[in-house]
Structure 1
Amino acid sequence: MQKSEMMNKIERSTGFIAALDQSGGSTPKALAAYGIGADAFANEDEMFALIHEMRVRIMMSPAFDGDRILGAILFEKTMDGEAAGQSVPDYLKSKGIVPFLKVDQGLEEEANGVQLMKQMPALDALLQKGGAKGVFGTKMRSVINLANRDGISAIVKQQFDVAMQIISHGLMPIIEPEVNIKSAERGGADAILQDELRQALDKLPEDKQVMLKLSIPEQCNLYTDLIRHPRVLRLVALSGGYSTDEACQLLAENSGMIASFSRALLERLQHSQSDAEFNAALDSAIQQIYDTSKT
């Protein structure tokens, strides 16, 4: 897939984006949910080898197809690995799936009700590496816990500043300021975020675009104006800890949003399943999420 083909697929095709980007802190939880406990690995290298095996099993499944999946977000170590004798980005593109790279390096401690991204002094080198390996875009995550205007404004400014750095490398940034779905101030946080994002988008040059990855809002269709904004290539939803059924039910109430699920995509998968059982469970989740995104 050439860049123009990837752009067209992300912008116009029906489907969703799979999030396969669990990193350091979230990897043990992902493995445990898959049926691999902490006693199965002695160090970080063994842990990442196990999560890579899980991801390769997912990517190589016949259920993981480019007809329903638009793209996949990768952790750096996954991007550096192989599937079926090819680099992971090349393998995904051979299946018609657009590769993205997670670039944030974790979160700062909470201040003003939010967690900013940690500084990324090596970002330019990572972006050059990702571009050389053929990824189309990137993803970076911040977290919003309270409806604090100053905190949310700081998150949006940081995200858009880094987005411009990513765009300068010819890559498409996915901006992910996640609103904590357990927040007691969730509705207010959603509303402030919507306003801050709209203002930031209005300031983008006319020849630049970003993607947005947002929590499913408490108020249905709150993000309609963001979906229609000319500076937004696509707006995708994270599952945020919801089950597959819950996430799909809520997403279906928000026109124009498509899924970019992680936990809700993988929750039915177990290490102990036979290949037939594994493929059937993955196919069931993919079809449910695809149908919801299509609707």
Structure 2
Amino acid sequence: MQLTFNQVNHTYMAGTPFEHIALKNINLSIPPGSFTVVIGPTGSGKSTLVQHMNGLIRPTSGEVQVGTYRLRAKKDRTSLLTLRKSIGFLFQYPEHQLFEETIEKELMFGPMNFGVSKTEAERRAKEVLPNVGLSPDLLPNSPLNLSGGQMRRVAIASILTQQPELLILDEPAAGLDPEGRQTILDMLYSYHQKHQQTTVLVTHHMEDALRLADFIVVMNQGSIFRSGTPEEVFSGPEALVSIGLELPETIRFMQEVKTSFALTDVPFLKTRSEVVEYLSHFLSNDRKGDS
């Protein structure tokens, strides 16, 4: 799905004493089919950026193109219903939005609201639960009787039953412990790999950005500070530190290796296993050189 921002600005409460400029001159094109991660300091405009992607809010000026839709400040008469059929948006703490009597009804609500038949919605409900690590046997149960982690999974499943072409995840693992966060994100990443829809994840965890993304957008003070592949974004990491971001562990460690051994350059490594393998070869070659 085409996803492009062209000269987009957004101001909250314009013309009042509470006026706040949230986005400034955003020009951005997100690769179709990518797993894109949006990172940045608190208040940098991350959530405002993604809320433009399904028309939740409109640009104060400029244009957002989502598929064949062009979203501008002035509302046109075109209904956003068709657009939103193809977009799944998961907010923080999505389990707070559960309301149906049974898990099956919860999962069927979204598709049927967009015109899917009851039979098809039932099929999707049964099919999606294993994707989020839950058994279809739970369908007759109330979602409100589940554990917090299970409720989060049901909320995610309710978005996936819509079979979105664009999946927007605004801190989907907020409030979870590190193990729970990794489980949820790995689950969503596996779904992305299987279905190849465009996925946009908002997070403040730099480790997740490095581990999952194939395209990264760095926001700062309402503007795009950097964008590109992980290797492009994390080159010159001092710039990221200067805006208050904490570097991922592997990036920090390789910077220390570079400094300690007075190296002119070090390879871009994303995982601990890659770092261990590199150091093993590096130290082995270093000892050979001394002998």
TM over 0.5: no
Give TM class, smaller chain: 0.3 to 0.5
Higher relative contact order (CA 8 A, sep 6+): 2
Which structure has the larger Rg?
A: 2
TM-score (norm. length: structure 2): 0.35
